[in-house]
Structure 1
Amino acid sequence: MSISSALSNALSGLSASSRAADIISSNIANAMTDGYGTRRLDTASRVIGNAGAGVSVVGVTRYSDEALIGQRRVAEADLGASRARADFMAQLEGLIGAPDAVGNLSARVADFEGKLITAANAPWNESHLSSAVLAAQSMATGINDVSNGIQEQRLQADGQIAITVDRINGALESLADLNTRIVAAQAGGGEAASLLDAQAQLVEQIVPFIPLQSRRDEAGALYLYSDDGEALLDVRPATLGFTPVAAIAADMTLANGDLSGLTLNGRSLSMDGAYPALGGGELQAMFQLRDQWAPEAQARLDAVARDLVERFDAPGLDGTIATGSPGLFTDAGNLAIPANEIGLAGRLRINVAVDPDQGGAVWRLRDGIGATAEGPTGNATFLTAQVDALAALRPTVSGGFSGAARSAAGLISENLSAAGLRRSAAESELAQIAARHSALESAERAGGVDSDDELQRLLMVEQMFAANARVITAAEEMMDELMRIAR
């Protein structure tokens, strides 16, 4: 071996050692970076003619456990959907009001019933009548507030869907651009590991919303599909479409065209049913909130409002009311009818006939809603009948409740209990999915950058560098000795 060959070999070794040290330092620096894949320097023996000529750097390989990452991504989508459900159920229970919450519906109906009993015991006392009217108004307002809160949750979900769709579309466009750069880099023999990291981070932006399956072709291009087989990135990025609304009312649904559905490249997707499109992630959960969970909660609340109205509209309860006129509780001033039950909870009002602020008189709560003149102040018959109407056991005919007979307080309490059970079940499911996701995430991180292993490799690289440097030093000394001899 000539001195020049020794120098060439050593210089190639120094270059490879320097590149290896650079990669190891990058691994260590990104040990906690999500989406980062451990790099390894690929080297090969360099041959010139029939003789060895040192080492050549072939490239950099990025390592990742795609099977484990795929499982974790599916679990993350499940976690996003479960978290959305648990959050909604907790907010719904908060709107209805837990038994110990100030102003909950159970407390309001109990207060109303108590004020009616007090007024019946002293029907001549105008302050007691006023208190009963205010309690009825508080009852209606409380139901209104819950209904408005449910519709606000639907509107927020609708707006969040729009934001999510824009985010996914942007991520898919960026992924397609990175595909082009990765293919070009690999075709030209360049390094694409950093581009692959950037792609992985973009994929993670989509993962909570849609369960994904991915594959990469021989050229290095990434392909993304939803769990149900919809192509999201296949040569070209797909485009999701959605149109948000400015306001949502209880009777606005996807089925009647008032709300937007989701499209994929202009094709409508079904987000409900047994096999919803793009199902399993937070995106589908937001559609479920807007189109299923919240409407179901609204239907139960409307049933409570209907039950309350019909108790005071019962035939024979108030002989002063004309046919077709409402009793104490109204549908925005009109007689509530079953055909208009949807959204009744948001329109529930007390009859203006008993509201002094709207030209009514509180004595009508004692003498009859339709009374034209004040009757005997000691007559508590109608007040007692209203107390009995609240406490009467009557079947519930709507809202998904069973047909069992209940009092007004019993129905409200059962609605709260149902909300609490749903919240508890959602939180239990969330805890299970979170535990599974955490285990997969820990396993993925364990297979990532191992700092101890990287430091051991760094020591080896340091020794390699020092050895190659010693070869160069030896060659230099040999050349110096030759020059001395030549003189």
Structure 2
Amino acid sequence: MSLNALNTATAGLQVTQAAIGLVAQNVANAGSAGYVKRVLTPVAQPGNSGVATGTISRTLDAVSLKQLRLETAGAAYTGLSATVQGRLDALYGVPGSASALDGVMNTFAQSLQGLTTDPTSAASRATAVAAARTVATTISGIAQGVQDLRTGLESQLASDVASASTLLSQIAALNTKIVGATGNSSGDTRVAELLDQRDLQINALSHYLDVQVSDQHDGSVTLLTASGATLVDHGAAASLTFDGRGTLGAEAQYSADPGRRGVGTVTATTPSGARIDLIETGAIRSGSIAAAVSLRDDTLVQAQRQLDDLAAGLSRAVSDRPAAGTPVSAGGLTGFDIDLTGLQAGNAVTLGVRNAAGIGRNLILMPTNGAAPTPIDPALTDDPTALVVPVDISGGPSTLAAKIGEALGTGFTVSATPGGAAGAVRILSDPASLALTGAGASVTVPTNAADTKTGSGAFALFVDAGAGHGVFTGSFEGGSHLTGFAQRLAVNPAVVSDNSALVDYSGSTQSGDTARPRFLTDALTSRSLTFSAGSGIGGVSAPRAATVIGFALSVIDARGAASAEARQLDEGQQIALASAQSRFGKESGVSVDEEMSRLIQLQTAYSANARVLTAARDMLDTLLRL
């Protein structure tokens, strides 16, 4: 009996001592990142011989760990988005301040209004030119800031992808170590340490991209992307690479076609050698990498488009004349007469059409000189849902009607407008099968920047500094004239050198004539222009009609709203992350109070076992003395 008691007490002391050591280890690592609380599970020994140490395991809550990783990826996404959106909003300046975009636009409008009061004042003309230059430099500066943000994200993507690839290799290596240590006689503590390290690496990986973690029977894990691409399988890991392009410009955009892609992409190379474009396949949906891609390829590209549209609107408002179709019918056909005299490459002619089923859409006739790409991307026009039809106008006004008819094909009848000016055309169709519901165009009046004496108010006040200070027409010859125009916006050097062009429109304009100053003021503040749906102002499915000033204010409002929304989303996500961290810490972290309470229990058990040993010893001593 005494021997059984001695064996039981001895075993109890050993188990209690091991448990006390584990409590000490837990307390010592209470603040260590990634450490999961350990518990000792004793097992009964056969033959009523007490208990044995058993196994050491981690008190891991798999559900809370999964949620923690999900919220970590989400917080990295919203955090970067909020930061970049805030920086983008700051580029436009503090609304209402003199140096902000709305401030310089209003100052320019006021300078033109002042010029209408006294067009003979050299000081007023100089003030108007200076205000115009400030508008141009402000818009180009903001646009350059947008591309600087894109370049910064390109650099961050290279760094994040490299870090993520390193983590994948480390996780695969830990898989191998865990499998090798599992089942060894002294492996429980070592396995727990390796599991902590692996979980910590996966948590770090979640900052960069969202991953799905699957536990395997041998102790390893498999990591998959949201789309199902394997990143880690047992001891093998995919490598991630990013082919960054350095400094980005407005024309540098993502494309699934490597030959057209102007930015870097994330490529995963599996151990078997297969290569997967993770951006093209949409495999990464959260984390800092997904946020950087979305900001670089969507948010900032749209911001650039808004600035390009603003610059184009500013230029064309003072250089173009509106051409609206006049309804006409002949021989049972209906349509429009429209004066396209002076039509230049890029001066899109928009026709509204409706088929017999009542479905309508826009058809855009895009004038070219034969060097435009085929097909022309409708996303670069006012209406991305329109059908874009190129029209070769290189033959001049005399061939315009024939070329339009050739481009439209059957279903339309096109001819020169009877009694109209050269370049005026009549477009008819059968309303029973394909009705014309509208026709309009914006025709650029000056053919070159030096042509300031156009005989009308319209002239090239703003020009394209990147094209030899040429007149902006929206041409597609050699590429889109619109893309990146905001960076190239400049005041016409001919106006800078001779500011009388703000007043003199014919070379013989009478002193004090306010016609051109009034035209410029109205063009900026009263004339309604069509801005592309691609800018995202007022919706993404229809063009926006607004004045130049009104569109500028809409851009500023949109940017401020986007920044505020990103900030609010991030604040909510950070709360969600903190909640997930708290839950995981409560379930799997070390509570010093709980460990101290456990220590007291273990000390009591240790004392009880020690008393049994003492009693057994005393009993044996007594027996030996008999």
TM over 0.5: yes
Whether the aligned pair in 1 keeps the contact of 2:449 and 2:494 (CA below 8 Å) is no
Q: 1:468: Cα distance to partner? A: 2.9
* Match for residue 577 of structure 2 among 432, 437, 444: 437
Q: Distance in 2 between matches of 1:159 and 1:430?
A: 23
Which is richer in helix?
1
TM-score w.r.t. length of structure 1: 0.87
The 3-state SS of whatever aligns with 1:253 is coil
Question: Is the counterpart of residue 173 in structure 1 residue 169 in structure 2?
Answer: yes
Residue 474 of structure 1 and its aligned partner are, at CA, apart by: 4.2
- Please give the alpha-carbon distance, in whole angstroms, between the structure 2 residues aligned to 1:102 and 1:31: 55
1:462–1:102 Cα change, 3 Å? farther
Query: Which residue identity lines up with residue 335 of structure 1 in the other structure?
Result: V
1:34 is displaced (CA, Å) by 4.3
The percentage of aligned residue pairs carrying the same residue is: 27
Q: Structure 1 stretch 296-305 or stretch 459-468: which is displaced more?
A: 459-468
What residue is the counterpart of 2:564 in the other structure? Answer: 424
Residue 378 of structure 1 and its aligned partner are, at CA, apart by 4.0
* Deviation of the 1:170 alpha carbon: 1.0
Deviation at 1:132, TM superposition (A): 1.5
Code of the residue aligned with 1:419 in structure 2: it is R
Q: 1:8 to 1:342 in 2, by over 3 A?
A: same
- Count of aligned positions: 468
Deviation for aligned residue 1:404 = 4.5
What's the RMSD between the two structures over aligned residues? 2.7
Instruction: Find the residue that maps to 2:207 and give its secondary structure.
Output: coil
Candidates 408, 411, 414, aligned match of 2:554: 414
Question: Does structure 2 conserve the Cα–Cα contact (< 8 Å) formed by 1:211 and 1:279?
Answer: yes
Question: For the structure 1 residues 322 and 299, does the alpha-carbon distance in structure 2 shift closer, same or farther, using more than 3 Å as the test?
Answer: closer
Does the 8 Å CA contact 2:316/2:473 hold for their aligned counterparts?
A: no
3-state SS of 1:208 partner: helix
Does residue 258 of structure 1 match 2:262?
A: yes
Say which SS state the counterpart of residue 264 (structure 1) adopts: strand
AA paired with 2:127?
Answer: S
Could you list the per-position Cα deviations for residues 51-88 of structure 1 after superposition, in whole angstroms to 9, with x for gaps in the alignment?
44443222201121112221232233223223333333
Q: What is the aligned counterpart of 1:363 among 489, 495, 500?
A: 500
Question: Residue 490 of structure 2 aligns with which residue?
Answer: 349
Quickly say closer, same or farther: Cα 1:461–1:102, change in 2 above 3 A. farther
Q: Which whole-Å CA distance do the structure 1 matches of 2:18 and 2:181 have between them?
A: 18
Could you say which residue in structure 1 is the equivalent of 2:449? 325
1:389 partner letter = A
Q: Of residues 516, 530, 551 in structure 2, which corresponds to 1:396?
A: 530
> Whose strand proportion is higher, 1 or 2?
2
- 1:376 deviates by 6.5
Map of 1:309 onto structure 2: 315
Structure 2 residue aligned with 1:122, among 92, 95, 118? 118
TM-score (norm 2): 0.69
Q: What's 1:135 paired with?
A: 131
SS where residue 77 of structure 1 aligns? helix
1:71 is matched with 67
Q: Distance in 2 between matches of 1:322 and 1:396?
A: 20
- SS class of match (1:43): strand
- Structure 1 residue 219: Cα displacement: 2.0
Paired with 1:324 and 1:315, the residues of 2 have a C-alpha distance of 15
- Structure 2 Cα separation of the partners of residues 350 and 258 of structure 1: 30
CA distance in structure 2 between the partners assigned to 1:377 and 1:476 by the alignment? 126
Unaligned residue ranges in structure 1 (runs of 5+): none
Q: What one-letter code is carried by the residue in structure 2 that aligns with 1:279?
A: R
For 2:166 and 2:98, how far apart are their aligned partners in 1? Answer: 45
**Hey, what's the Cα distance between the residues in 2 that align with 1:477 and 1:377?**
128
Q: CA deviation at 1:439?
A: 3.3
**Secondary structure of the corresponding residue to residue 442 of structure 1:** helix
Give, in whole Å, the separation in 2 of the partners of 1:40 and 1:315: 81
Q: What CA distance in whole angstroms lies between the structure 1 residues aligned with 2:516 and 2:125? A: 12
Q: How far 1:270 moved relative to its partner?
A: 4.9
| Structure 2: gaps (5+ residues) | 323-444, 451-459
Match of 1:163 in 2: 159
